[in-house]
Structure 1
Amino acid sequence: MLDTIGPADVAGVRKLARDGLLAGSAAAARPRALARLRGGVYTVAWPLVFTRITKPLEHRRRHADCARGLEWLRPDCLDRFHDDVEAVVEHALRRATGPIENLEGWLATRLNPATVDAHRRRRGGIGALQRPRLPSWLADALGGDPWLCDLAVQILVWVGVPATAGAELWPLDGWAARRTEVTGEPVADRDALDREVEQVLAAMRTRPKWHAEHVERPLGHKQAPVAPMAAELPALELVGAHEIEDARLADLAEQALQAIEVRLNRDEAPAAAVTTVVGMLFGELAAGSAARDDWLAAALADPARLEAIVATVMTILGR
């Protein structure tokens, strides 16, 4: 769409907006003219959507790569971006009924209501709860456990999201990070997390009709998971072992920062939070290496080195 829209189309959209005729023109336009109107609004809207919605969201999700620009967005993040821009375009072509001198300024005030409304309508169309909240009966069934209750809401949100989790039904990796945020504990192994998901689903199934309508039905609208490669095929390693190790360490560092931040938010002393989390997360990694284990133990036991580690962590967290 953007490749076929030129400055004249954008200028035409701006003039219609200034004259208070944008929505009326869109309603009366033939398909070809409507497509050009949509393209003009799209050209104006997409930088606003990326800057004010997509980029902050990707930072909150800790997708530093996605926050760099459109060309860096992962497939599911790119789909979400396009959905948001389309929502803003549709909103503008329906609601721009009065004179608008500053189209960007007006669109900026409509970003949130336009995208939230479109998101809820998409969810409602497949049976998912438009505003996923935890029913009191489900909270009771889960014993009021903070993490299980949060996981229940994550499940209700996920079933209404069009994206898939690759070859899996549930996005366990993302929920593992979320578990760390909620509990302040290191990421649980996948088997333990899978058992917790089943525990929540079992509680949901105590209301069969509710479960069928708000969990099974929207899940049925997702694309089938991608079939995994045959197990006997040899793995193709595109990077060296040291790069794999670096990636693993970076992932552990991200988990550690999340867990430390949760503990700090609970008013735990910085040194205690850092010592506990680093010892638990990186101690497991060091278990296979006596030299690394000795280094970690020595670093945490040395007041000066621990102080430097704590200062670095607090700087990264902006505290």
Structure 2
Amino acid sequence: MSRIAQRVLIAALVALILAPAAIAQATFVQEVRLTAPGLARFGGISAVEVMNSGATALVLSDRGTLFTLSLTRGPAGVTAASVCCAAAITWYEGVHLPGRQRDSEGLARRPDGTLAISFEGGPLGRVAYHRADGVQISVTPPIAGAEDLPRNGGFEGLAIDTSGRLYTLPEDMPGDGPIPLLRLDRGAWQVFAQVPRAPGWSPVALDFDDQGRLYLLQRRTVLPLGFAARLTRYTFARDGGLVAERVLQTGLGRHGNLEGLSLWRDATGRLIATMVSDDDFMPLRATNLVEYALPD
């Protein structure tokens, strides 16, 4: 067997192994490429917050910049998307965060427009509140163990519930045990639940829907073959535990490096999961907006 044939066979076997075990319940809606020719800092998108019934969205770069999207929608979804402005993530005095401190990964928006942003970076991992223009307001209490996380394995997922409480979890951590889901409650970060660790899958985004159900986006990377993504919905049991339901799992290479997640309802009442792909500032990758309709 030639080397080329061997590579094709290996790729087919890997794709078969990583394919969803069952048909995903979610329904694909669309995938739209986002470009901003006039904004050199656009890229590395790691989080998204959809607003105004899908007409606008905030996306967050992992190099400390917020971008606002204007989205024109028709019956089939987005017909036009434009990046209309950018805002640097800054300290209190408006100075852009130093390079090592601006690895912004997670985004959650309060009803008053205040933004919570989570950051990676080993000992610099943290969660802070910022105004809509990116200026820092305050920092949440330190998260125990943040200094022990890998530099690229910190707090990517961030969500806020209807009571205003923040939730986050690390992308990676030492050992092979479960991943702690943390909640900021009564002025301190506490372990709210444990998310089973799935070999090869990394938790990269969190969000709540309008019924108070929590969603976790996970990513699997098999380069050079591409990325797979899966979305799990958690409901809260009476005993305080979490009941998991897989609502989406994509095949390897179906989309790019999906990271951000936002749950919202369209004009027909469908529950939409909007995700964004991180191009890692690589010219051969794209920044795409990907949307699926989820079952209720």
Structure with a larger share of its residues in strand:
2
TM-score normalised per structure 1: 0.26
TM-score normalised per structure 2: 0.27
Task: Point out which structure has higher relative CO (alpha carbons under 8 A, 6+ apart).
Answer: 2
Larger Rg: 1
Structure with a larger share of its residues in helix:
1
